[in-house]
Amino acid sequence: MPEKKNTENTVLVCVTPQRSCAKLIRQGELIALKNKAKLIVLAVFAKRDGASPENSAILEELYEAARMCDATMSVYFNDAPDILAAVFARKKNAGTIVTGFPRERSTGFVTRLHELLPDTPIIMIDGNDGEHKILPE
């Protein structure tokens, strides 16, 4: 990826179609407030999932959580969420990325995102609201 240009103070929260991600958006809001940053949310759904009734209901809840945190939310259907998130983060000049903490059977999203954007701090939020950071070297 090309070098960052004029990074604005923006926090990007990456969410998946899970109700628990509404909590992740609220944690992202706290990080954005602490850093006096703008908050944006990115939801990436697998293409095969499409707009199923269950995903539509979850999406509605995530939109509401983003709205309550005064954040904009973008939704994409894509089978390469790491690449999409990296391009989106670069386009939006994200200075920090917030994700959930990878589970035991992780897809490798956070690792690949860090490889694509090694100069962008990533804050992973665990189930107890603990922050785990991947910082640029």
Position 48 scores a pLDDT of 78
Q: How many other CB atoms are there within 10 angstroms of residue 115's CB atom?
A: 12
Q: Answer whether 43's CB lies under 8 Å from 81's CB.
A: no
How high is the pLDDT of residue 46? 82
Please give the pLDDT value at position 1. 47
Residue 104 confidence (pLDDT): 76
Say which amino acid occupies 1: M
H or E element: which one contains 67?
Answer: helix 53-68
- pTM score, two decimals? 0.90
Tell me which amino acid residue 99 is.
T
pLDDT, residue 50, reads 67
Tens place of pLDDT for every residue, the chain, 137 residues?
444 444 468 999 999 888 889 999 999 999 999 999 999 999 988 887 666 788 888 999 999 999 999 999 999 999 999 999 999 999 999 999 999 998 777 788 999 999 999 999 999 999 899 999 999 87
Fold topology of 10-134: Rossmann fold (3.40.50)
CA-based end-to-end distance of the chain: 17
Is 76:42 a contact under the CB 8 Å cutoff?
Answer: yes
| Rounded Cα gap, residues 31 and 35, in angstroms | 6
Give the pLDDT of residue 5.
44
- Where in the chain are the domains? 10-134
